[in-house]
Structure 1
Amino acid sequence: MYRIYDCLAHQHDIVLVLVALLIGLGGIHTAFNLYARACIGRLRQKIAWLFLTGVVTGGGIWATHFIAMMSYDPTVPVGYEPVETAVSLAIAIAATTIGFAIASVGGPHRLMSRIVGGLVVGLGISAMHFTGMSAISVPGVISWHMDIVIAAIVMGALFGIVSLWLVGAAQTERQKLLGKASLTIAVATMHFSAMGALIITPDPTVPVPEQLISQEYLAVGVAVVAAILIAIGFVTALVDRQLRDHVSNHMRILGDSAIEALVLTQNGRVIDANDSFLKLGGVSRAEILDCDFLSEWLSATPAAFKSGEISYAETNLSWTNNSEIPVEVVRREIPADEISDATVIFGLRDLRERRAAEHHIRFLAEHDSLTKLLNRTTFNDRLAAALQKSDKTGTPATVMCIDFDHFKELNDSYGHIAGDHALRELGERLSKLFSDDVVIARVGGDEFVTLLQHKDGADEDDVIARSRDVAQQILDCVAIPVFINAEHRAKLSSSIGIAHYPTDGNDGESILFHADLAMYRVKQSGGNDMVFYSPEMDEEYRFKRQLSSNLRNAMENGQLELHYQPQCQTDGRVINSFEALLRWTDPEMGSIPPGRFIPIAEETGLIVPLGEWVLRTACLEASRWKNPLGIGVNLSAVQLQKHELPELVAEILEETGLDPKRLELEVTETALIHNPARSMKILSDIKKLGVRIAMDDFGTGYSSLATLQNFPVDRIKIDQSFIKKLVSNDQAIAIVRAVINLSRDLNLDVIAEGVETDEQASFLTDHDCRSVQGYKYGYPKPIRDYWHVVNQGETAETPANRDSGIETV
């Protein structure tokens, strides 16, 4: 090491050393710019650029070598053999050309090609140096320190490898800078180490050839050669760069104006990208240059797209930070021209918004928009899949139908906005209540369904126990009051029907149907409970369905008729009016009491045409009587909610010619509270026609003084359940007495229903109840049985005909 230092410090002209280094840097700087161009060229262009790279690199290194040699003072005259000097230049050019050509080879062995190329360049520098040294002719003997020679060759080779490994494809300034620095170090270390190994022993007897090149001529020649080579390379690279920058600027302006992300590649390597892509990937342009775009950014792309067989694909854009963006990619190829090589342009469009929109659309298609639970269609799909799994595993599946009790009253009391809010909150509660093995869906209105899948191997007791536990959790969840506003909380309950597959049905439709039947059984029993399906429910349903069908036929075929029960003064001697009561005798099923078919008519919606028929028939019949007695007709809760009811009453009165004062419409307080505001409006409009309003079954429902005060009631009908207990029940006696006194104080008529005994009649007489109705005074019978009363105006004793039917309204 000291010998090398001593040689450099005391045997070299430092000025010339610095000149040599500057010439070397200039040549290497130009060479790497040319090499960068060669790495992205077509084959024919690539060969030309690599040759020019080798000429400039080799010439620059050769010039550096000889100028540095001329700075060396061996203390004896020095000359140079012209042939060997020229051969050293040729070696430098050939070695660097071959080395850079090997390093520029891409593909899977790219790293190895750069290592081998760097080795060739490093060894080529050594070969050029020692060939050039062999051209020295001096009057003396030249020898070498072989250990230093070997070390110089090894250092030159190592720094050559490092140089072409660090420079890569020379597409960034950093790569070029690292390559230039490493190759300069390779040349300098190799040269000055080798010079330190040189030993010149003066010997005047050694002959010196006459055809030697003097140092002065060699200096001029080296300078000229170096300047020409570097200038040629520099100017060529400059012109090419300007042309390429011109094309690139046009392309970049065009690309940056596009919304889509664009990436330009040559030979698979990225040469440019527009701003949209840089923003999409969150990277800088320097980070993606020279990347293998398909391998590093579109690794999941189909092989057919990578090979160019197809030009469109939907894939993920991914990079080293494990980020992925769904994109659609279009591939377009631009043929090579005189300036640019063949280029492949990839156009990318971010699919995140589209995927999010598709996901949202899919969510809307699969979920209920109000509660965000699954909808009916999606639930049916899940149910079908669960039943298939059940068939394979033999483990039952459970379906629950859920309906909220008195939800209509909540809507009527607080409005539909409050009802929607309640459904939304209940849906949110239920969705958080269970894990993935419990599926909950809203199938319409306030109806929900639940699918419960059990663990494989669960027996019947486990299934029933778990189903009961889940149903109880739902009951408890629904029972928590729902916030309506600052002043009100709505307390709801639920009715749950439960059915198991396959014991309660062999397909999804039957399981849902049977769970629904069980749910209706709960509602009929008052709600807020759970019931498991049993076959008896199916039999009852079939009976109801047959009854509904027969009732429809009865309406069409005239099988219905009205019976009339007299309403009398308490002494029983004068009939004031009749109540029209519907009767039905089916040809197959016989006489069916109203208490059996009226609820079915209300469930199926038949009550509306049925009620209209009763009203029209009763009014028509009463209009024919010579004795202008009153006629009472019952209205159902369903009829009372129809806005067109007042118009219908007016139309019937006009058609039949019945005096409105003779008509009395009977409503229950239970029917009024479904929608008090609407009921009030409808009854007020009917009242304006001159029709009387009676409160039926008073005392059995939600009876209150507010009802009597707010609604236009003319008469109160004391329910027969109190009349039956008049003799034996002190509480019933107190209630009847209070109602009679209340009606008198409010200036309302009062009538007692269900009077059957003399004791009951005497009590009512003693307490000033002026009107009565019941079996004691007459059974409901066809109007022909009261022909003498309605057509002759006779006062009539009303003996009870015990063989008549029983009133049920």
Structure 2
Amino acid sequence: MYRIYDCLATQHDIVLVLVAIAIGLGGIHTAFNLYARACMGRLQQRFAWLFLTGVVTGGGIWATHFIAMLAYDPVLPVGYEPVLTATSLVIAIGATMFGFSIASVAGPHLLLSRLVGGLVVGLGISAMHFTGMMAMSVPGVISWHMDIVIAAILMGAVFGMISLWLAGPARTPKQKLLGKVNLTIAVATMHFSAMGALIVTPDPTVPVPAQLISQQYLAIGVAIVAALLIAIGFVTALVDRQMRAHINNRMHILGDSAIEALVLTQNGRIIDVNESFLRLTGTKQHDVIDQDFLARWLPETPLAFQQGNLNYVETSLRLENQKELPVEVIRREIPADDIADDTTIFGLRDLRERYAAEKHIRFLAEHDSLTKLLNRTTFNDRLSEALQESDETGVPTTVMCVDFDHFKELNDSFGHIAGDHALRELGERLGKLISDELTIARVGGDEFVVLLHHQNRTNPNSIKTHTQEVAQKILDCIALPIFINQENRAKLSASIGVAHYPQDGADAESILFHADLAMYRVKQSGGNDVVFYSSEMDEEYRFKRQLASNLRVALENEQLELYYQPQCHADDKEIQSFEALLRWKDAELGQVPPGRFIPIAEETGLIIPLGEWVLRTACFEAAGWDKPLGIGVNLSAVQLQKHELPEVVAAILEESGLDPKRLELEVTETALIHNPARSMKILSDIKKLGVRIAMDDFGTGYSSLATLQNFPVDRIKIDQSFVTKLVGNAQAGAIVRAVINLSRDLALDVIAEGVETDEQANFLTDHDCRAVQGYMFGHPRPISDYAHIVHPQTPAPETAPEPAKSGKKPANRHSGIETV
């Protein structure tokens, strides 16, 4: 070590040593810039850049060596043999070019290729050095300390290997700096260590060839070669860098303008990203460069995508703290060109908004938009799954149909906005009851369905108890008052029908149908209750369906008929008018009471054509009477809600030619309160035609006094329920007297229904009720039995059917069509 130091300190010109090091640094600096460029692009371009790298690196090292040789003073005159000097330059260029070429090879043995390439460069430096030393000629004998020679060669080889290992592809400033520093150390340590091993023994007898290159000429030549090579390499690298920077800048602008995140990789490692990727991941560019992109950011991608056999995938982007972000990734391979090596570009798009939109769309498709509960389609799917599970486990499944009582009245009273508000609030309440065993859905209007899983319950009593408990929770939930406005709160109730699978049905359709039947049974009983399905309900439904079908056929085939009941003057029993009453005798079922088929007609909508047929038939019949008696026709609640009713009445009067004053339309208080405003408008329009309006069943409905005040009524009919109790019931008598007095004070006509005895007739006559109707004065009969009344010239029948000794008028309170 001392010998090396002594040689450097005493036998070298320090200025020239520093110049040599500076030239070496310049050449090596330019060389690594060229090497970085040689590591990318197409194969033919790589060869060109590697050749230039070898020329600049070898020439720079050769120049460094010979300038350092010029700095060495052996005390003897020195000359240089031209062929060996040129050979040393060729060795330097060839070795460095070959070494850098090996190091630039990418593949599975990347580290090995860099180490081998560095070894070749290190050994090439040694070969160039000793070849150059062989070119030196002095009048003396040259010998070596072989231990120092070996150490010098080893140091050059080791630092050469370290240089290309740390430099890698020389893409980052850090990689380039490490490569330059270690290669400079390799050149310097190898050269000056080897010079320390040199021993020159003067010997005048040693001949010196005449064709030697003097130190002056060598200095000029070395300076020219070094300057040209370094300048060529520097200018070439500078031009290429500027061109690449321009292209990269344009690509960066283009990439940063993209909404999608873009990542460029080579050999799986990131070489560039755009701003969208940095924003998406919350990172800085220097943090992600040279990372293994798929392993670090997309570890869950399938193998086919990683190998390039699949170009699209939806996966998760791994962020910091193990957070994951849903993304879609597109992979595109970019072949090598004159500028860059084979590159893979990944385009990433954040899927959070799309997933949220898809989730919202699925929610809208599966849920009711008003209540946020499940809709009919989704419920049916859940029901099918539940029935399949029930088949597998043997545990029954329960379905409930829930319908709010009098919900239409809430809409009519406060408007549909209030109704929607009520449904929203009820939906929110019911939604809080939903659990793993309870599913609730809205299937339309104010109709809801419930699916109840009994889990491990198999005992029938336990299942029934569980069902009743759940149903009661639903009833209690619905019964809470609902805020409508500052002045009003609505309190609803519900009717719940229950059916069990498989006990009450073999499939989803039958279970729902039977639960619906049970719910309608609750409705018919007044609501606010729970009813379990039974087979009798199905029989009743089938009977109603048959009845509705037969009634439709009877209407189409004119198999219906009207009976007429007299309405008489109380004093002389003279008939003043008739009330038309519908009768139906079915070929299969026999005589069907109106109280049986009228409600079914209202449920099925047949009441509209049926009521029009009754009105038309009665008007045409009355128009043909010789005696202009009045004719009374009942209107149902459904008819009274049809805006076109006044036009229908007017058309029938015109077609039949009946004087409007002879027609009296009877309506019930119950029919009027469904929609008071609409009823008022319709009755007012009918009244303008000259038709009389009678209030039927007065006293049995709602707010009778308000009804008389607000509606255009001409006559009041005292309900038979009061007339029947006249004898022996002081309260009934008081009510009848009050109604008669009220009618007189309001200048309204009054008629009592259901008069059957002399005591009843006498009471009414004594209290100034001048019109009566009942079995005492005549039964409902075909008009032919009253032909002598309506056609006075027709003789009276010799015999007439005996009037019933007693009988009550079974009026149908659900319909305006009389059911006597």
Measured against the shorter chain, the TM-score band is 0.7 to 0.9
Aligned position for 1:176: 173
Query: Does the residue aligned with 1:776 lie in a helix, a strand or coil?
Result: coil
Query: Does the residue aligned with 1:433 lie in a helix, a strand or coil?
Result: coil
CA contact under 8 A between 1:497 and 1:522: conserved in structure 2?
A: yes
Residue 521 (str. 1) matches residue 521 (str. 2): yes
Residue 808 (str. 1) matches residue 817 (str. 2): no
Matched to 2:184, the amino acid is: V
Aligned position for 1:449: 449
Aligned position for 1:188: 185
Using the TM superposition, give the Cα deviation of residue 367 of structure 1 relative to its aligned residue in structure 2, in angstroms: 3.7
Residue 40 (str. 1) matches residue 43 (str. 2): no
Query: Does the residue aligned with 1:679 lie in a helix, a strand or coil?
Result: helix
How many angstroms apart in 1 are the aligned matches of 2:49 and 2:651? 103
Aligned position for 2:406: 406
CA contact under 8 A between 1:156 and 1:186: conserved in structure 2?
A: no
Aligned position for 2:226: 226
Using the TM superposition, give the Cα deviation of residue 647 of structure 1 relative to its aligned residue in structure 2, in angstroms: 0.3
CA contact under 8 A between 1:403 and 1:447: conserved in structure 2?
A: yes
Using the TM superposition, give the Cα deviation of residue 599 of structure 1 relative to its aligned residue in structure 2, in angstroms: 0.8
Query: Does the residue aligned with 1:374 lie in a helix, a strand or coil?
Result: coil
How many angstroms apart in 1 are the aligned matches of 2:53 and 2:671? 101
After TM superposition, the structure 1 = structure 2 runs for residues 641-660 of structure 1, keeping only pairs within 5 Å, are: 641-660=641-660
CA contact under 8 A between 1:169 and 1:290: conserved in structure 2?
A: no
- My pick for the range that moved more, 593-602 or 448-457, is 448-457
Query: Does the residue aligned with 2:674 lie in a helix, a strand or coil?
Result: coil
Matched to 1:717, the amino acid is: K
Aligned position for 1:24: 24
Residue 639 (str. 1) matches residue 623 (str. 2): no
Residue 617 (str. 1) matches residue 582 (str. 2): no
Query: Does the residue aligned with 2:448 lie in a helix, a strand or coil?
Result: strand
Residue 383 (str. 1) matches residue 383 (str. 2): yes
Residue 592 (str. 1) matches residue 589 (str. 2): no
CA contact under 8 A between 2:717 and 2:753: conserved in structure 1?
A: yes
Q: Tell me the alpha carbon deviations over residues 267-321 of structure 1, each in whole angstroms, 9 at most, x when there is no partner.
A: 77777777777777777777777777788778777777777778x7464584655
Aligned position for 2:158: 157
CA contact under 8 A between 2:159 and 2:185: conserved in structure 1?
A: no
CA distance change for structure 1 residues 704 and 58 in 2, over 3 Å: closer, same or farther?
A: farther
After TM superposition, the structure 1 = structure 2 runs for residues 325-336 of structure 1, keeping only pairs within 5 Å, are: 326-327=327-328, 329=330, 331=332
How many angstroms apart in 2 are the aligned matches of 1:131 and 1:531? 112
- My pick for the range that moved more, 434-443 or 586-595, is 434-443
CA distance change for structure 1 residues 72 and 203 in 2, over 3 Å: closer, same or farther?
A: closer
Aligned position for 2:420: 420
How many angstroms apart in 2 are the aligned matches of 1:247 and 1:361? 44
CA contact under 8 A between 1:440 and 1:450: conserved in structure 2?
A: yes
Aligned position for 2:475: 475
Using the TM superposition, give the Cα deviation of residue 21 of structure 1 relative to its aligned residue in structure 2, in angstroms: 4.3
Query: Does the residue aligned with 2:683 lie in a helix, a strand or coil?
Result: helix
How many angstroms apart in 1 are the aligned matches of 2:187 and 2:766? 139
CA distance change for structure 1 residues 595 and 308 in 2, over 3 Å: closer, same or farther?
A: same
- My pick for the range that moved more, 350-359 or 481-490, is 350-359
Matched to 1:630, the amino acid is: G
Matched to 1:178, the amino acid is: Q
Using the TM superposition, give the Cα deviation of residue 213 of structure 1 relative to its aligned residue in structure 2, in angstroms: 6.5
Matched to 1:420, the amino acid is: D
Aligned position for 1:497: 497
CA contact under 8 A between 2:62 and 2:88: conserved in structure 1?
A: yes
How many angstroms apart in 2 are the aligned matches of 1:28 and 1:219? 20
How many angstroms apart in 2 are the aligned matches of 1:233 and 1:32? 10
CA distance change for structure 1 residues 264 and 656 in 2, over 3 Å: closer, same or farther?
A: same
Matched to 1:33, the amino acid is: N
CA distance change for structure 1 residues 231 and 586 in 2, over 3 Å: closer, same or farther?
A: same
How many angstroms apart in 1 are the aligned matches of 2:388 and 2:120? 70
Q: TM-score, normalised to structure 2's length?
A: 0.83
How many angstroms apart in 1 are the aligned matches of 2:155 and 2:458? 77
Question: In the comparison of the two structures, how many residue pairs are matched?
Answer: 802
CA distance change for structure 1 residues 301 and 555 in 2, over 3 Å: closer, same or farther?
A: same
How many angstroms apart in 2 are the aligned matches of 1:744 and 1:445? 46
CA contact under 8 A between 2:41 and 2:339: conserved in structure 1?
A: no
After TM superposition, the structure 1 = structure 2 runs for residues 126-525 of structure 1, keeping only pairs within 5 Å, are: 142-143=144-145, 153=154, 157=158, 160-161=161-162, 164=164, 167-171=167-171, 175-188=172-185, 191-192=188-189, 195=192, 199=196, 204=201, 210=208, 218-241=218-241, 244=244, 313=312, 315-316=314-315, 318=317, 324=325, 326-327=327-328, 329=330, 331=332, 361-455=361-455, 458-525=458-525
CA distance change for structure 1 residues 637 and 157 in 2, over 3 Å: closer, same or farther?
A: farther
Q: Tell me the alpha carbon deviations over residues 331-380 of structure 1, each in whole angstroms, 9 at most, x when there is no partner.
A: 5867x776777777777777776666655555544443433433333332
Aligned position for 1:560: 560
Structure 2 unaligned spans of 5+: 813-820
Query: Does the residue aligned with 2:513 lie in a helix, a strand or coil?
Result: helix
CA distance change for structure 1 residues 374 and 127 in 2, over 3 Å: closer, same or farther?
A: farther
CA distance change for structure 1 residues 305 and 733 in 2, over 3 Å: closer, same or farther?
A: same
- My pick for the range that moved more, 588-597 or 424-433, is 424-433
Q: Tell me the alpha carbon deviations over residues 668-689 of structure 1, each in whole angstroms, 9 at most, x when there is no partner.
A: 2221122121111111111111
How many angstroms apart in 2 are the aligned matches of 1:439 and 1:539? 29
Structure 1 unaligned spans of 5+: none
How many angstroms apart in 2 are the aligned matches of 1:8 and 1:609? 126
Aligned position for 1:666: 666
Percent sequence identity is 70
Query: Does the residue aligned with 1:792 lie in a helix, a strand or coil?
Result: coil
Residue 570 (str. 1) matches residue 573 (str. 2): no
Matched to 1:469, the amino acid is: E
CA contact under 8 A between 1:99 and 1:120: conserved in structure 2?
A: yes
CA distance change for structure 1 residues 188 and 414 in 2, over 3 Å: closer, same or farther?
A: same
CA distance change for structure 1 residues 754 and 249 in 2, over 3 Å: closer, same or farther?
A: same
- My pick for the range that moved more, 60-69 or 675-684, is 60-69
Using the TM superposition, give the Cα deviation of residue 83 of structure 1 relative to its aligned residue in structure 2, in angstroms: 7.2
CA distance change for structure 1 residues 111 and 203 in 2, over 3 Å: closer, same or farther?
A: closer
Residue 52 (str. 1) matches residue 52 (str. 2): yes
Residue 747 (str. 1) matches residue 747 (str. 2): yes
Q: Tell me the alpha carbon deviations over residues 184-240 of structure 1, each in whole angstroms, 9 at most, x when there is no partner.
A: 145237734874797569774578884687665554444333322222222333444
Matched to 2:472, the amino acid is: Q
CA contact under 8 A between 1:637 and 1:671: conserved in structure 2?
A: yes
Matched to 2:176, the amino acid is: G
- My pick for the range that moved more, 542-551 or 530-539, is 530-539
Using the TM superposition, give the Cα deviation of residue 447 of structure 1 relative to its aligned residue in structure 2, in angstroms: 1.9
How many angstroms apart in 2 are the aligned matches of 1:418 and 1:304? 58
CA contact under 8 A between 2:32 and 2:180: conserved in structure 1?
A: no
Q: Tell me the alpha carbon deviations over residues 755-800 of structure 1, each in whole angstroms, 9 at most, x when there is no partner.
A: 3334433433343333332223322222222222222299999984
How many angstroms apart in 2 are the aligned matches of 1:745 and 1:4? 143
Matched to 2:612, the amino acid is: E
Q: TM-score, normalised to structure 1's length?
A: 0.84
Matched to 1:683, the amino acid is: L
How many angstroms apart in 1 are the aligned matches of 2:805 and 2:13? 148
Q: Tell me the alpha carbon deviations over residues 605-648 of structure 1, each in whole angstroms, 9 at most, x when there is no partner.
A: 00100111111111122222222222221111111111100000
